[in-house]
A = this chain, B = another copy of it.
Amino acid sequence: MERSLVGDLKSLPDGNSVVVKGWAQEIRSLKNLVFVVLRDSTGMVQATFKRDNFPDMDMLSNLSRESVINVEGKLNLKSKSKTGVEIEATGFTVLNVSESPLPLGIIDPVEADFETRLNNRFLDLRKPAKASIFRIKSSLIWGIREYLHRQNFVEVQTPKIVAAATEGGSDLFPVKYFEKEAYLNQSPQLYKEILISSGIDRVFEVGPAFRAEEHNTVRHLNEFTSVDIEMAFSDHNGAMTMLENSVKNGIESVLKASSKDLETLGLKIEIPKVPFPRISYEECRNIASANGVEIPFGEDLSVEALKFIGEKFHDFYFIVDWPSSLRPFYTMPNEKDPRYTNSYDLQYREKEITSGAQRVHNPDILKKRFIEKGLKAENFEFYIKAFKYGMPPHAGWGLGLERLLMILLDLPNIREGTLFPRDRTRIVP
């Protein structure tokens, strides 16, 4: 007989014969009965065993928690058990016995510390509220990808082993690549721009990116999932439209496919209205100033300043027209006033989600910007070359998937949305 998922039992006819497979979360032995709460990825069901019907009942009643079992029986939808549905068992098989004690309890009311949880991630994720985060993450990236696919973006794969630092700086992990020294890529930025020069027009990539940042914070990972787009013949306004719609479609996908998981987490998420408001950097400085926080021109908006701005423009909004000093070398200066750039940050309340911009497409301006930023142009020859032979105007963004997830689900630590986080001290599991 084919396996039924626990979550589907309620929609089957009462009295049906069923087979369920999962983990024995609880086993209670009474004189004549044994109750097992079986958990699978979709929910929990109580299975009731009459001792008289099973000569090998001791095997089950003595089974350790979290062992994997197969239960056959008759569906009872009128059950008063706490799982709402019950199976009157007619047979069982033990598929794998768990050792005990467990290094991490699944149903303990007190949560273990985060290090213990991460060391035993496979047990931590058996708690429905932890697994829900990752089903939501999957729905989120599906929705983003589906939107980009519909907008005729070509999904690409660019190399993670590279010879030069994308963003300059020293936050690089060195790789021994045969006889050569190489690095793990910090961002697909340079490669997606090269692809714009190839005429593919619209590209996106979802892949790992690596930053050797030495400090541990709750908002940073040393390995994260970067969602990147780049589009030819467009500017920051075109890229912002793609970004707000990608986020919107991602959230719609979560609501559609993962409503049960949101419920498990006790969260309500609303579909944001597009377009998101656009507020200029100067406007933000003014709001801050009106609240007694002075931001000198060319300096980043402080946490304090963003608090006031976030109060005024809640939920999603863009901060646009950032000063040149705050943006990377490939950002397009504003044509009217080059102290500013054609750039934006996507914000959620006081929190920055991601940033993007129109890019420089003129190779001479690009070289000048390299020098201004103190970078060695000769390390980027393979990149600058793509600008010399017909690079169209272009724009794009890079979005940290875990950052977006953290903000949407209000997670206290970005690692909660990362299956196996990598940080200053952690490479196992």
Q: Which residue numbers of A lie inside 8 Å of B, CB to CB? A: 3, 21-23, 39-41, 66-68, 95-99, 102-103, 120-126, 131, 134-135, 137-138, 141-142, 145, 149, 154-163, 173-178, 180, 182, 184, 191, 194-195, 197-202, 206-208, 210, 212, 214, 222-223, 225, 232-233, 361-362, 382-383, 385-393, 401, 418-420, 422, 424-425, 427-429
Contact = CB atoms under 8 A, between A and B. Distances in A.
A136 B354 CA distance: 30
Contacts of A158: 419-420
Nearest to A128: B199
A131 B392 contact: no
B194 A429 contact: yes
B156 A419 contact: yes
Nearest to A401: B157
A171 B385 CA distance: 33
Contact of A427 (B95, B161, B427): B161
Given A95-B361, A159-B420, A175-B175, 4 more contacts: A160-B210, A178-B214, A180-B427, A182-B427
Nearest to A212: B178
Contacts of A95: 361, 392-393
A40 B201 contact: yes
A98 B160 contact: no
Given A125-B195, A173-B161, A201-B40, A96 B156 contact: no
Contacts of A96: 361-362, 387, 390-393
B175 A174 contact: yes
A388 B100 CA distance: 9
Contacts of A208: 157, 159-160, 207-208
B154 A138 contact: yes
B419 A199 contact: no
With most chain B CB atoms within 10 A of its CB, the pick from A135, A142, A388, A389 is: A389
B198 A122 contact: yes
17 contacts: A23-B390, A39-B199, A40-B199, A40-B201, A41-B199, A96-B361, A96-B391, A99-B389, A126-B199, A131-B198, A142-B155, A157-B401, A159-B208, A162-B427, A163-B428, A195-B419, A382-B428
